[in-house]
Structure formats: structure tokens, C-alpha cells
């Protein structure tokens, strides 16, 4: 088959997969998760419900939900090899995303082999990565990891393993809304990575580990920490305009703004802003929320002034930062927590790719030299002694 399409920088607009998992409409600002609008489902469903929905393309009944819970509980405890590795990483003070990527690679070490291992691997990755993040965070602080609590749901247990205290229901709801909102998002860079890896008929651990590597970069999942730091650096509403102008004039990017697909406000920002507002109203620094809203509106106005026609709007990361901070998470855990949610989406995409897709193998346009002729040189290029 001849390829007449030509090179498309960043693969922008190229359709490389078919999916039933999520639909992103960047012009209308719409995100559909397995048929549901994100704003209708994310603030209400449990995370386990969302995982079931993505993995089975329908909502679970009570028994299926209980089974999902018990499968996750079964695999929450880390294998010793993962814990040893996290201890070594903590001694080397490695960033949390690096430790998570390393731990992901050994999460299947004690799994049974064969067909069962395949499915167990899905649950083990989803269940164990939160344990790895929480354990690693505590090790970095010189604290002992907290064992998972089988009575708690996925989101509550993560907060519990981080702090050692049962989390208040408002925080659990806030975290579930966050995890549900970012669980899947079309063919983003990390999801594409997972699909490329699994399309070779590799394994789920490799797909998720590769996706973690792709997510780590600041242009994909690494923006919420810097977005919040920007709000803190601004400090008060009166300083926002001068601060943001200085950044834009210096050619810097404002973290938490702009998106390859969305040319209007990211619908996830809407959901997370509402969740953050609910949280900050009952449990947090309301003034910080108001400051963030002011920074957001100033940034969007100035982006239009400095980058006219680029349609740079608030993306998911801006309110992610505010919500996760309100939940008591340190900035170093923002991207890892995003990864814990997206793991469910990566696994769903990988399964879909295995079931319906082909080996992903695009072409490159050659722009190198031509017609070079090899001749033996009088003086050899490599000297042998």
C-alpha cells in the first residue's frame, strides 16, 4: 500500500486507532467516557465502577462491583522485590515517577504464569501501583510504609496508605472525582505508547511501564506541580498580571494552559474546578481557590494577547493541582496520582488493541543525504593498535 499522506508533525490529527473507551471533541470541549459525559459520571461514580465500565463496556451490578473490589484487595500488597527496590530508590532520593516506573516493572514477579497471569496482571498493576507510590513517599520521609486496608475502596485506601489515618469522606469523594475524570483521554501520548508496546504482543507490565515513562514528561503529565507553584509564586491577585506578563514576554509557557486537542476550556477542568470548589468550601483555604480562579482568567486573557489565534485555554492540570493540594497531597505526588488513574485507561486500551488492532508501525520520511559512495581511506577511520 503506498503512503501518499506525507509527514505530519507530531502526528497531529492522524487517526491511529479505533476505540470505544473515550471520545475527545476539542472544538466543543466534550469528553465522553464509554458513552457517558465526564461531567455526568465522574463526580458520582466510584473509581471501581469506572474501571469496570472501561474494562467491560457496561456498568457493574453489586456483585460485580464487590468482585472488582476483592480482586484489587487481593493484589494490593507489594512483592518483596518491589519493596526492596523502593527502599534502594529512596536511599538514592529518586523522583517519585522514577520509583513508580521501577516498581511497575517488578509488579508481576510473583504472578502465576499463563492465561490467568494475564488477567491477574491487570488487577495487580492497578492495585499495586498506589501501594508503591504511598510506600515510596513514606520511605522518602523516613517513615514506615502503611499496609493496605482491605475494608477500604481504592481511593480511600490510597489516602490511608499515604497518611496512616482513615480519610474523611469529602476527601475520598474529591479523589474519586479526580481519578474518574482523568481515567482515560483518547489517544494521548502515554496511551499511544501503551498501545504501541502491546501491539507487538508484548505484555501488560511492559505496556504500563512504557506508558509511565511517556507520562513523566512535563509536556504530558508533569504540569500540575509547576501550575500550583506558579499560583503560590503569584501569592496575591494584584501580582498576577505582572507575573504572567513577565513569563510570556520571556517566551516561557504557562503550565496548566494549552492543549493539542482542546481549543476551548478542557471539560475536565470544569469538573475538577467544581470538585475543588466543593472541597475548599468545607475543608481548605478558600482564599487560595479564589486566587487560582483569578490567575486562570488573567492567564487566558494574556495568552490570547501574546499568542493570538492559538486558542490556549485552561487544561486539566491547572485544577488538578488545586484539587490534589486540597486533598493534602504534596506536589511531588501529583503526576504519580494521575498515573494511578490513567493505569486503568492504559490497560483498557491495551486490551482493546490486542483484541482489535494490528502491529503499529508507521513510516518515516527520509530527509538524509543521498548518493554518498563508500571508499576505503588511506588513513583508517578507526586505528587498531
By CB under 6 A, name the binding residues for ligand ACO. 10, 219-221, 223, 253-260, 303, 307, 310, 312, 315-317
Cell numbers linked to 190 = 502515554
Catalytic annotation, pick one of 176, 259, 277, 349: 259
Minimum distance, C-beta of residue 155 to ligand ACO, in the bound complex (Å): 19
- Nearest residue (CB) to ligand ACO, 60 versus 345: 345
Minimum distance, C-beta of residue 345 to ligand ACO, in the bound complex (Å): 12
Minimum distance, C-beta of residue 245 to ligand ACO, in the bound complex (Å): 12
Write the DSSP assignment of 12-67 as a string of letters: TT------SSEEEETTTTEEEETTEEHHHHTTTS-HHHHHHHHHHSS---HHHHHH
Beta bridge partners of 36: 33
What is the rounded CA–CA span in Å between residue 159 and residue 153? 10
- Nearest residue (CB) to ligand ACO, 69 versus 293: 293
Cell numbers linked to 87 = 527502599
- Nearest residue (CB) to ligand ACO, 219 versus 246: 219
Half-sphere exposure of 317 (CA within 13 A, CB side): 27
Contacts of 175 (CB under 8 A, 6+ apart): 155, 156, 158, 159, 167, 327
- Nearest residue (CB) to ligand ACO, 209 versus 315: 315
Minimum distance, C-beta of residue 308 to ligand ACO, in the bound complex (Å): 10
Q: Which of 32, 5, 6 is nearest to 19 (CA)?
A: 32
What is the rounded CA–CA span in Å between residue 212 and residue 100? 8
What is the rounded CA–CA span in Å between residue 299 and residue 306? 10
- Nearest residue (CB) to ligand ACO, 31 versus 196: 31
Q: How large is the angle between the packed helices 224-234 and 334-356, nearest 10 degrees?
A: 150
Minimum distance, C-beta of residue 251 to ligand ACO, in the bound complex (Å): 8
> Using CB atoms within 10 A of its CB, is residue 95 exposed (0-12), middle (13-18) or buried (19+)?
middle
What is the rounded CA–CA span in Å between residue 179 and residue 334? 11
- Nearest residue (CB) to ligand ACO, 72 versus 316: 316
Is the Cβ–Cβ distance between 198 and 354 less than 8 Å?
yes
Q: Which of 132, 155, 156, 136 is nearest to 144 (CA)?
A: 136
Catalytic annotation, pick one of 176, 296, 317, 352: 317
In the residue annotation, 365 being an active-site residue is answered as no
Contacts of 118 (CB under 8 A, 6+ apart): 204
Minimum distance, C-beta of residue 253 to ligand ACO, in the bound complex (Å): 4
In the residue annotation, 259 being an active-site residue is answered as yes
- Nearest residue (CB) to ligand ACO, 96 versus 228: 228
Q: Which residues are catalytic, by number? A: 259, 317
Amino acid at each position: 500500500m503506498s503512503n501518499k499522506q506525507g509527514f505530519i508533525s507530531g502526528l497531529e490529527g492522524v487517526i491511529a486507532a479505533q476505540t470505544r473507551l473515550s471520545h475527545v471533541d476539542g472544538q466543543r470541549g466534550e469528553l465522553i467516557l464509554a458513552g457517558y459525559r465526564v461531567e455526568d459520571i465522574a463526580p458520582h461514580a466510584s473509581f471501581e465502577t469506572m474501571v469496570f465500565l472501561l474494562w467491560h463496556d457496561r456498568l457493574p451490578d453489586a456483585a460485580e462491583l464487590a468482585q472488582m473490589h476483592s480482586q484489587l484487595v487481593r493484589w494490593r500488597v507489594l512483592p518483596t522485590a518491589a519493596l526492596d527496590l523502593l527502599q534502594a530508590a529512596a536511599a538514592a532520593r529518586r523522583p517519585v515517577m522514577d520509583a513508580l516506573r521501577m516498581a511497575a516493572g517488578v509488579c508481576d514477579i510473583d504472578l502465576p504464569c499463563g492465561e490467568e497471569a494475564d488477567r491477574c496482571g491487570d488487577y495487580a498493576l492497578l492495585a499495586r501501583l498506589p501501594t508503591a507510590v504511598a510506600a515510596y513517599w513514606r520511605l522518602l520521609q523516613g517513615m514506615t510504609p502503611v499496609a493496605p486496608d482491605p475494608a477500604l475502596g481504592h481511593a480511600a485506601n490510597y489516602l490511608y496508605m499515604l497518611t496512616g489515618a482513615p480519610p474523611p469522606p469529602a476527601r475520598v469523594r474529591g479523589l474519586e472525582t479526580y481519578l474518574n475524570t482523568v481515567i482515560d483521554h483518547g489517544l494521548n501520548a502515554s496511551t499511544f505508547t501503551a498501545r504501541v508496546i502491546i501491539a507487538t504482543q508484548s505484555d501488560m507490565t511492559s505496556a504500563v511501564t512504557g506508558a509511565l515513562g511517556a507520562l513523566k514528561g512535563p509536556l504530558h503529565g508533569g504540569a500540575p506541580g509547576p501550575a500550583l507553584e506558579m499560583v503560590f509564586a503569584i501569592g496575591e491577585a494584584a501580582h498576577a498580571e505582572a507575573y504572567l506578563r513577565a513569563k510570556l514576554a520571556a517566551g516561557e509557557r504557562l503550565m496548566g494552559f494549552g492543549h493539542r486537542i482542546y481549543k476551548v476550556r478542557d471539560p475536565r477542568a470544569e469538573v475538577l474546578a467544581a470538585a475543588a470548589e466543593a472541597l475548599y468550601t468545607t475543608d481548605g483555604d478558600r482564599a487560595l481557590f479564589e486566587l487560582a480562579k483569578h490567575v486562570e482568567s488573567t492567564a487566558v486573557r494574556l495568552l490570547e494577547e501574546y499568542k493570538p489565534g492559538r486558542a490556549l485555554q485552561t487544561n486539566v492540570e491547572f485544577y488538578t493541582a488545586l484539587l490534589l493540594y486540597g486533598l493534602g497531597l504534596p506536589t511531588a505526588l501529583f503526576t504519580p496520582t494521575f498515573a494511578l488513574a490513567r493505569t486503568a485507561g492504559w490497560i483498557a486500551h491495551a486490551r482493546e488493541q490486542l483484541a482489535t488492532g494490528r502491529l503499529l508501525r508507521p513510516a518515516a520520511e527520509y530527509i538524509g543525504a543521498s548518493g554518498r559512495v563508500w571508499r576505503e581511506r588511506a588513513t583508517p577511520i578507526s586505528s587498531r593498535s
